[in-house]
Structure 1
Amino acid sequence: MKIPEKAPEKKEIVKETPVQQEEPVQESSVKTTKPLSRQGISSGFSINSFLNKEEKDVKEETIAVKAENLPQNHFTETDLQMEWNLMLKQLQTKNTFIFNAVKTFKLVKAGENVIKVLYPSDSAKVEFDKIAGEFFNHFRTKVNNHAIMIDYQRDFDTLKIEVMTKRKIFEKFMERNPLLKDLDDLMKFDLT
């Protein structure tokens, strides 16, 4: 039987370094007559100057385009209705929310270069404003008339909603079938 040999033990050598003692630090108090922070130096960025600069830049960028120099070809009511129906079909597939809001709008040619937009409610007009620029720019280039003016008018007739009570529903059915009136006389229905 063989006895396993032990691996030779390694001796660790530790170097001892002498510990240096710290010298005591003497505290001294210094009194100043001026604050230590620098108050007279700015960071170089001023919010007020930045805001004023932006307002000046916006005023300079405004350029007026005269409609007199642009083409003003004739367009018909049919052209307007065809393009509006095409836009509604595209909206129905792209964005149904806006489609449902603007499908009751009526666009009417009011003058040679005037389109009257009849809208049912202010909330629907907000949704229409999202697509109005795209639609009217497309229409102006399609008919080659860049002098078209848009006149928005509130149409109260399209928003009328009739509240149907049970009595009104029954009366409509009586118009279709007069025998219901005899039944009502006989049974004395309470349709309140």
Structure 2
Amino acid sequence: MVVTPQKKEEDLPDHHFTEKDLQTEWQVFLSDLFIKDQVTYFAVNTAKLHKKEENVVEILYPSDLVKTEFEKIQAQFFNHFKRKVNNYKIEVSYREDKKLIKKQETKRDIFQKFIEINPILKDLDELMRLDLS
């Protein structure tokens, strides 16, 4: 029986990868995920990945739900990505970013923005009693 020695972490390759490599693979992964599991896709597609340092990828997420769902698929994505770029020393950091929350705008919200631009619309709304619900 032949026992192969385990590779030490410092012996693992850590080739350079770019932000574009990361974004391209993330988009490919998301498109595959959309086909396989749409529920997970819609949960994690708001997460943003960025190369922070040479071997550090930062995950920006809007809520704890997105983080939890991302952690479920993290190993699957990063195992593939590490093989693709031949860098096995990639580390992951998380940061919550409330700016990523997507709020559905109603007609009333849009109208309020227009009122800020043109205050006369407020008078028109009061006069005509517009139904923007």
In the superposition, the TM-score normalised over structure 1's length comes to 0.56
Take 2:91 and 2:120, find their aligned partners in 1: how far apart are those partners? 56
Query: Greater strand share, 1 or 2?
Result: 2
> Which structure is higher in helix share?
2
Q: Which of 1 and 2 has higher RCO (CA within 8 Å, sep 6+)?
A: 2
Q: For the residues of structure 2 that align with 1:68 and 1:178, how far apart are their CA atoms?
A: 64
Task: State the superposition RMSD in angstroms.
Answer: 3.0
Helix, strand or coil for the counterpart of 1:110? Answer: strand
Q: CA deviation at 1:143?
A: 0.3
Amino acid at match of 1:120: P
Give the length in aligned residue pairs. 127
- Provide the residue aligned with 1:88 in structure 2: 30
Q: Which runs of 5+ in 2 are unaligned?
A: 1-5
Specify the SS of the correspondent of 1:151: strand
What percentage of residue pairs aligned between the two structures are identical? 50
The answer to whether 1:171 aligns with 2:117 is: no
- Whole-angstrom CA distance in 2 between matches of 1:190 and 1:78: 46
Find the counterpart in structure 2 of residue 158 from structure 1: 100
- Alignment-mate amino acid for residue 136 of structure 1: F
Amino acid at match of 2:31: K
CA distance in 2, matches of 1:163, 1:183: 21
Q: What is the distance in 1 between the residues matched to 2:122 and 2:38? A: 43
Partner of residue 99, structure 1: 41
Rg (Cα) greater in structure: 1
TM-score (norm 2): 0.78
Divergent runs of 4+, >2 A: 159-166, 168-191
Amino acid at match of 2:61: Y
Match of 1:146 in 2: 88
